Amino acid sequence: MSDQNAIRDTVILGSGCAGLTAAIYAGRANLNPLVLEGHEPGGQLSITTLVENFPGWPDGVQGPELIENMKKQAMRFGAELRMAHLTSADLTTTPFELGVGKDIIQTRSLIIASGASARWLGLPSEQALIGFGVSSCATCDGFFASGKEIAVIGGGDSAMEEALFLTRFATKVTVINRSENFRASRIMLERAVAHPQIEFLHNTLIEECIGVEEKDLKGLRLHNRKTGERWTLPVSFMFLGIGHEPNAKMFEGQLDLDADGYIKTEDNIFVSILGERINGVYACGDVQDRRYRQAITAAGTGCMAALEVEKYLEELGR
Ligand code: NDP
């Protein structure tokens, strides 16, 4: 174990929209933030294509370009970006101690912006077609499904919400549920069932996404696990609505998490343990937000977290 770092004023976990916005603000406040980029550098935006709803780009901007610009902006103000991820954390000591491989980083404050990862089916053909007809974000990519027949995977509220939203663009939406029953709430389900453009398949598994060679989704190879029937559904888009996993497991027992593992926050950024607020630690972006999950809301809470850090360090006399 080495202890090669001086005590940092602030460390930011995650380099998505929330983390990088926090880095820009903390950098401008002369805090020389250290950003640990995490398992998915750039976060979910780095695997999106065109982002059309981020204010300031009237013609849209590619997700990776937006992230790259944010990185440059953060580095211009003295943020240090490190390709590393957290392996342990001790928030009970002062300063806080963060394990990164064999190193221990000490920091007076911590911004957790580790995000959430969309759940995928895990099929190689699905992974190969992400951005080419396969998406986990209806809000981001729905527009590209205009005039097309598409599929939404899942049977929970996320899937119903996506299916209903996508009827604005797609001519037909087939919701594919692997189970007999839905997990969605009654109200969402009723709305989806009543919609003339939405159809449902139950007990149905996706075996393969077709179109890998053409780099363009052409259809889904399906299997009804009850009847054994196999067939191909021609669709041009597949949206995953099977949930997200917040990247907060390493804080189990050190921070209050909700039943699905999201960090519980008060006023979007303040964290607690057993209901008691922990000063100097803030969470922002998707790791604490199951509701909005937008780039702009992540950026907003990232900004709030950095401003709170500034205030906290000032109170410490830094
Ligand atoms: P849920 O966990 O509720 O549902 C996940 C769905 O995806 C289930 O139908 C599940 O099937 C299916 N699924 C999971 N893994 C796979 C897989 N590998 N292959 C195929 N299907 C799979 O997640 P949601 O994201 O829908 O909702 C999470 C929470 O957020 C809920 O509390 C929900 O109410 C809330 N929410 C509320 C919204 C609203 O009120 N507007 C909108 C979105 C979410 P199975 O049942 O077989 O496990």
CATH of residue 136: 3.50.50.60
The active-site residue out of 9, 17, 137, 157 is: 137
For 277, other C-beta atoms within 10 Å of its C-beta total 11
Choose the weakest-confidence range: 22-26, 99-103, 284-288, 300-304. 99-103
Ligand 1 centroid to Cα of residue 65, in Å, is 30
Q: Do 228 and 249 sit in the same domain of this protein?
A: no
* Boundary-marking domain end, from 240, 267, 294: 240
Q: What is the pLDDT of residue 135?
A: 94
pLDDT band at 30 (very low <50, low <70, confident <90, very high): very high
Q: Do 72 and 93 sit in the same domain of this protein?
A: yes
Q: Which ligand 1 atom is the nearest neighbour of the CA of 159?
A: 26
Q: Where in the sequence is the domain holding 311, given as residue range(s)?
A: 2-117+244-315
Q: Do 124 and 234 sit in the same domain of this protein?
A: yes
Q: Do 162 and 148 sit in the same domain of this protein?
A: yes
Q: Give percent above pLDDT 90 in the chain.
A: 87
Q: What is the pTM of this model?
A: 0.76
Q: What is the pLDDT of residue 5?
A: 59
Q: Is 140 a catalytic residue?
A: yes
Structure tokens at 83: 């390709």
Average pLDDT value for residue range 175-193: 96
Q: Do 194 and 285 sit in the same domain of this protein?
A: no
Q: Do 251 and 228 sit in the same domain of this protein?
A: no
Convert the pLDDT of each residue in 259-308 to its tens digit: 999 999 999 999 999 999 999 999 999 999 988 989 999 999 999 999 99
Q: Is 289 a catalytic residue?
A: no
pLDDT band at 117 (very low <50, low <70, confident <90, very high): confident
The active-site residue out of 59, 90, 103, 141 is: 141
Q: Is 59 a catalytic residue?
A: no
Convert the pLDDT of each residue in 234-266 to its tens digit: 999 999 999 889 999 999 999 999 999 999 999
Average confidence score pLDDT of the chain: 94
Q: Do 125 and 230 sit in the same domain of this protein?
A: yes
**Which residues are CB-contacts of 85 (< 8 A; sequence separation ≥ 6)?**
36, 37, 38, 39, 100
HSE-CB at 165 with a 13 A cutoff on CA atoms is 17
Average pLDDT value for residue range 99-114: 96
Residue 123 has pLDDT above 90, yes or no: yes
* Boundary-marking domain end, from 214, 240, 266: 240
Residue 206 has pLDDT above 80, yes or no: yes
User: Which residue has the least CA distance to atom 38 on ligand 1?
Assistant: 157
Q: Do 229 and 293 sit in the same domain of this protein?
A: no
Strand order in the sheet with 172-176: 134-135, 237-240, 149-153, 172-176, 198-201
Convert the pLDDT of each residue in 34-71 to its tens digit: 999 998 899 988 867 778 889 999 999 999 999 999 99
Q: Do 205 and 67 sit in the same domain of this protein?
A: no
Q: What is the pLDDT of residue 4?
A: 53
User: Which residue has the least CA distance to atom 45 on ligand 1?
Assistant: 179
Q: Do 99 and 168 sit in the same domain of this protein?
A: no
Ligand 1 centroid to Cα of residue 190, in Å, is 16
Average pLDDT value for residue range 109-136: 95
Mapped onto helix, strand or coil, the DSSP state of residue 217 is coil
* Boundary-marking domain end, from 219, 240, 261: 240
How far apart CA 225 and CA 236 sit, in angstroms, is: 24
Q: Residue 70, Cα to own-chain centre: how many angstroms?
A: 17
CA-to-CA dists, residue 239 to 1, 53, 115, 174, angstroms: 44, 18, 20, 10
Q: Do 231 and 297 sit in the same domain of this protein?
A: no
Q: Do 254 and 308 sit in the same domain of this protein?
A: yes
Structure tokens at 145: 């499904």
Q: What is the pLDDT of residue 1?
A: 39
Q: How many domains would you assign to the chain?
A: 2
Q: What is the pLDDT of residue 2?
A: 39
